[in-house]
Amino acid sequence: MHGYLTLDERLDVLRAVDTERTWYSLDDKRVCTVCDRIFTGRQIDITATGAARFSLRCPTEDCPSDHRHWFFVHANPWQAFSLQELAPTYDGAGSLAVEHDGADEAKGAGIRGHRA
């Protein structure tokens, strides 16, 4: 069943069939909610069901699930936010630094004011 698709074609099929969750590469992992197995795009069983039509099957033998039963795997929960939350995190650090500088300036001005 494998082998008649190139790796690029395989990724194209995953993206075309599984439109709910983006496939960035064949090394992307999914967890099957039916059999609890974790697998990558390379391991998924791709079956041609017609001209340019494919169905995706869990690589576990006899598991009836398809891509609708597969969810993203995040080994580290912080990784789940890293892509989307990166910019807000940097903004937060930036405003914190500005606040800190402002406090220093106020302190310096206060000392100068006391001496004058």
The binder of Zn ion chosen from 35, 40, 66, 73 (CB under 5 A): 35
Q: Does 65 bind Zn ion (CB under 5 A)?
A: yes
Token pair for 81: 């936010």
**CB–CB of 54/47 below 8 Å?**
yes
Q: Does 44 bind Zn ion (CB under 5 A)?
A: no
Residues 69-98 that bind Zn ion (CB under 5 A): none
How many angstroms separate the CA atoms of 101 and 94, rounded?
A: 11
| Shorter beta-carbon distance to Zn ion: residue 1 or 83 | 1
| DSSP-assigned letters across all residues of 17-53 | H--SS----TT-EEEETTT--EEETTTSEEEEEETTE
The binder of Zn ion chosen from 26, 31, 63, 73 (CB under 5 A): 63
Write out the residues near Zn ion by the rule CB under 5 A.
Answer: 32, 34-35, 58, 60, 63, 65
